[in-house]
Structure 1
Amino acid sequence: MNLVTPPEHPFAQFVRMLGKGKRGARNMTRDEAREAMGMLLDDKVEDSQLGAFLMLLRHKEESAEEMAGFAEAVRARLQAPAIQVDLDWPSYAGKKRHLPWFLLAAKALASSGVRILLHGGGPHTAGRLYSEQVLTTLQIPLCRNWQEVEQALNAQQLGFIPLGDWMPQLQRMIELRNILGLRSPIHSLARILNPLGARCGLQSIFHPGYQAVHREASQLLGDTAVVIKGEGGEIEINPDATSHLYGTANGENWDEDWPALSAQRHVKPDTLEPAHLMAFWRGEVADDYGQLAVLSSMALALRALGEPRDVAFSRAEQIWAART
């Protein structure tokens, strides 16, 4: 019989911080969150600790300081070259009710010279259409490393890189969704990472009231960002609803409400057919909802880059008319 008490695992302290009951549990500090995420990324935790940590964090809901610390740990381990990017455009939710019109918005903006990095975590929830599944149809380059990203941005001002190709540890955590039964906070974290330090990061957070937390995390990181409750969780303005923009730039926050663009709600399509997107791009079919979603999402991106709302909408219409 072994009578020696085994030492506590170094990561146990972080599980205890989150799970020590209503009175004992607390938020991690930014430094603690950075250390905890560093251990996760360096594979210094047991699988049971990983699952417990993610679900306790999900139940508590992560703070802005925790998210900033997590992001700093990821950025410290990135080995990305200096690549000039205008917009960081994460895509992790997938679409369920409507097609991913935001991809046409990004494609049109790129054709006008705006350099956009798209990144996502792959299909992880049944019944949703993910960006990765329509890249070929939309002729958006799929990049597997930073060199290919740079080539795509230089050639087309647009490229998509899967999370698993630049931070596989986070991809593994995302894929635990179907084992744990819930999305983990990694889905939120991926949206604020801005791996190439783009001029501005766009973020869509569907969870009510959590947009301001994301903005605060980006502010702590010194990033320029705009956060919205996008349609289906993606960075796409819903033209049938009022959209609130949570912006931060140069350490200062700003807010705007964009009214609905349609007097009546559009009927969602029976099925999501990616080919319809390219037919719309080529002008072969009309789609009132798609037209409004694309133009307003383009305007959102231009607003994020500093243009006033009215100017952004005007420019969006010009860019869409001149798309190639």
Structure 2
Amino acid sequence: MSRTFSDSLQEVLAGRALETDRARRALGFVIDGGATAAQAGAFVAGLALRGVTCDEIVGFAQAVRERSLKAKPSRAPLLETCGTGSAVAFNISTTVAFIAAGAGVAVAKQVSRAVLGRCGSADVLDALGVRVDLPPESAARCVDEAGIGFFLSSRFHPALQSVASLRQDLGARTFFDLVEPLANPAGARLQLLGVYSTALVPVLARALKALGSDSAVVVSSRDGLDEFSLAAPSVVARLRGERIEEYEVDAAALGLLRRQATETAGGDAAANAKILLAILKGERSAAFEVALLNAAAALIVAGKAADFKEGLAMATESVDSCRALGALEGVKKASLA
């Protein structure tokens, strides 16, 4: 074992934080297979118990980015809507990606298989007939041709496969859930990022700033949803250039009905595909409203909308004009070509 990693592991186990470069090198050692299973497990578990710092998240994201496959769409700027994943709601961020694309935003979204929940973003796309296991050039072509493309995490981050079984065995959230969304293979610099804890909202906003994002919204709702919620206020950190602003958004204040979390619950891939299609076809429901709310935030991030009122109107138009549904059909065709 590397002396450098051994020192870093001892620091983590002692509850002390790592500086950015030290975190980068430590995770690089782990995902390159340099650590034993016991050492990797101790490193991940120690960080889970103590909680990760902004500097550590930045360093870990750098390590993952350095080892990722890269895709190079010609379209720019690119929006990423990948979040930390919900075990409760339907695939909101994937639905948002189609609505944003229908509104003219170029979307490059990372997707993954379900780990903690019943249906990951890749699973629902499979059910919709979209091929996601594409090589870099094909995924980039989808973005260029359809205005939206998907990047399967396991394909574009092969180094993380060395810790896949560890993450599964732990059966709990780890810093990897925070880091993967920060390593977009197409280099997206616009991001709507949902996280599972309100305490992490400002931390992730600072991490995105340090990693070079131009515009971002980080959100976590007080009901535990890692998206904007209709059931409770949402805690937000808005990154614009060098500035980060923190505030809360209450859907009711925007004219949306207060809903129960059960009204936006998801199921397996087939059930979630049905919900997503119904939204893109304009069927009004709680799921439709929560998708519009989150899409409005995505359009703010992309500079298409000045505020939520305008964003909601643009998101509604994207759906009602069938352009959001057209984005789905377009990427399905491009992915199978």
Same topology, TM > 0.5: yes
Matched, 1:19 2:13: yes
Q: What's the offset of the Cα at 1:140?
A: 4.0
The equivalent residue for 2:36 is 46
Amino acid of the structure 2 residue aligned with 1:194: N
Matched, 1:93 2:57: no
Q: How many Å separate the matches in 1 of 2:111 and 2:81?
A: 9
Runs of 5+ unmatched residues, structure 2: 327-337
C-alpha offsets along residues 171-215 of structure 1, whole Å, 9 cap, x if unaligned? 443542331242221111112223322131221111231111111
Matched, 1:163 2:153: yes
Q: What's the offset of the Cα at 1:102?
A: 3.4
Matched, 1:296 2:293: yes
Amino acid of the structure 2 residue aligned with 1:52: A
Amino acid of the structure 2 residue aligned with 1:316: A
Aligned positions of 1:114-125 closer than 5 A: 114-125=105-116
Q: What's the offset of the Cα at 1:9?
A: 4.7
Q: How many Å separate the matches in 2 of 1:31 and 1:267?
A: 40
Amino acid of the structure 2 residue aligned with 1:138: L
Please state whether the residue corresponding to 2:186 is helix, strand or coil: coil
Quickly say closer, same or farther: Cα 1:82–1:91, change in 2 above 3 A: same
Q: What is the count of residue pairs matched by the alignment?
A: 309
Q: Give the number of the structure whose alpha-carbon radius of gyration is greater.
A: 1
Amino acid of the structure 2 residue aligned with 1:268: T
Amino acid of the structure 1 residue aligned with 2:10: R
Of all paired residues, the percent bearing the same amino acid is: 23
Q: How many Å separate the matches in 2 of 1:103 and 1:8?
A: 40
Q: How many Å separate the matches in 2 of 1:139 and 1:108?
A: 18
Quickly say closer, same or farther: Cα 1:194–1:271, change in 2 above 3 A: closer
Matched, 1:65 2:55: yes
Quickly say closer, same or farther: Cα 1:136–1:64, change in 2 above 3 A: same
Instruction: Compare relative contact order (CA 8 Å, sep 6+) and give the higher one, 1 or 2.
Output: 2
Q: How many Å separate the matches in 2 of 1:136 and 1:150?
A: 18
Amino acid of the structure 2 residue aligned with 1:123: A
Amino acid of the structure 2 residue aligned with 1:252: R
C-alpha offsets along residues 22-72 of structure 1, whole Å, 9 cap, x if unaligned? xxx410011111111221232222221111100101111111011111112
Q: How many Å separate the matches in 2 of 1:267 and 1:245?
A: 19
TM-score, normalising length: structure 1: 0.86
Quickly say closer, same or farther: Cα 1:42–1:85, change in 2 above 3 A: farther
Identify the structure with the greater helix proportion: 2
Please state whether the residue corresponding to 1:312 is helix, strand or coil: helix
The equivalent residue for 1:308 is 306
Q: How many Å separate the matches in 1 of 2:261 and 2:228?
A: 16
> Paired residue for 1:146, among 136, 142, 152?
136
Q: How many Å separate the matches in 2 of 1:156 and 1:299?
A: 21
C-alpha offsets along residues 198-240 of structure 1, whole Å, 9 cap, x if unaligned? 1312211112311111111111122132100168655x42122
Quickly say closer, same or farther: Cα 1:48–1:116, change in 2 above 3 A: same
Are 1:227 and 1:245, in contact at CA under 8 Å, matched by a contact in 2? yes
Amino acid of the structure 1 residue aligned with 2:65: R
> Paired residue for 1:105, among 73, 96, 100?
96
